[in-house]
Amino acid sequence: SERGADGFSKTEQEQYRVLRLEQEGNGEYIYSVQVYTKGEKGNWVGGEKKFPTDYNGNFWTYIPFTFVGAIDNSEEIKKPPLLPLANLNLAHYRDSADFQESVFYMGQPQYYAKGVNWEWYDQAKKRGIYIGAKVLLPLPENGGLGIVQADPNTLAREAMKDKWEKMKEMGARLIEKGSGSKKTATEANSDDAVQHSVLSLCVVNMNEALSAALRWAAKFVTPNVDVLTKDDLMFEISQEFNKQGYLAELARQLFEAALQGRSSFKSWWEYNQTGMFPKQKYEEELQNVEAEQDGTLNQKVE
């Protein structure tokens, strides 16, 4: 799109960006980009091909692109993990509508008269039929008046409760371990209580994709990305969906480690406050220990 001269309006134009691997004479492939726009006759016209290069001027031998999926980062389209929960939620919504309708009908009493005919009804209707305290309603011989009300029907409500319990089970399954998904790097860490969960696997796939994108971006501005550390290129979303909570024994061990100078009192204090270990690097923890020993803890850690 192009922004207008007034700074607010813009002109939009539909276009397609085609990414290819072009074969060279030596049998190798290089990455190319070509933009297609609509011509005057409405047909798609390809523009000049561009061959991106990295910081060193080398062509890309692959397309810097990745799919991001819930199960894995392949191009295969799989069912989203939340689909069963969404379908069950829709079914719960339908049961709720049926339940509310039944509540309306069961909550409305219906008056009835017996031993009367249509002639009596027409005459009574002309004069007005009043029912209540201190009101006299003449009825024919052997006639009677009563109220009928539908018996409560809790079938829809029971169905709602059943679906609600199933939804809670499905929601818990999203963050529990043992999803059965194939993820070698994930399965290597069996001590993490949520490492195999569906939600954790989604986060792992996102971390891998964005970390790869950061590496590709670095190749445009850095002569050698291999010298960069994981801290420089890694994108990581926390996977601590299930908090283990505060453990008194662990707090005691942290306090003893702080007394011995192997850990900082700051880490022990933060664990007591939050039940979680501080998010900091090992070097920062060492600086905290040294700062506590020489009395400079309040100084900013670079």
Whether the pLDDT of residue 297 is over 70: the answer is no
pLDDT tier, 65 (very low <50, low <70, confident <90, very high otherwise)? very high
pLDDT tier, 239 (very low <50, low <70, confident <90, very high otherwise)? low
- Judged by DSSP in three states, 111 sits in strand
Average pLDDT over every residue of 86-110: 85
Give the mean pLDDT of the chain. 81
Percentage of the chain lying above the pLDDT 90 cut: 19
pLDDT tens profile 265-291: 888 888 887 777 777 777 888 888 888
Backbone phi, psi, residue 32, to 5° = -130, 155
pLDDT tens profile 112-144: 888 888 888 888 888 888 887 777 888 888 888
The overall longest dimension of the chain from CA atoms, in Å, is: 111
Whether the pLDDT of residue 193 is over 80: the answer is no
Model pLDDT, residue 298: 54
Say which range, 2-11, 31-40, 201-210, 216-225, has the weakest mean pLDDT. Answer: 2-11
Backbone phi, psi, residue 106, to 5° = -70, -25
Average pLDDT over every residue of 96-114: 83
CA distance 285 to 297: 11
Q: Where are the beta strands (DSSP E) in 88-247?
A: 110-114, 144-148
Model pLDDT, residue 244: 61
pLDDT tier, 85 (very low <50, low <70, confident <90, very high otherwise)? confident
Q: How far apart are the first and last CA of the chain?
A: 43
Whether the pLDDT of residue 189 is over 70: the answer is no
Whether the pLDDT of residue 59 is over 70: the answer is yes
Average pLDDT over every residue of 95-104: 84
CA distance 7 to 149: 68
Q: Are 207 and 235 in contact (CB under 8 A)?
A: yes
Whether the pLDDT of residue 164 is over 70: the answer is yes
Contacts of 281 (CB under 8 A, 6+ apart): 231
Global confidence as pTM = 0.54
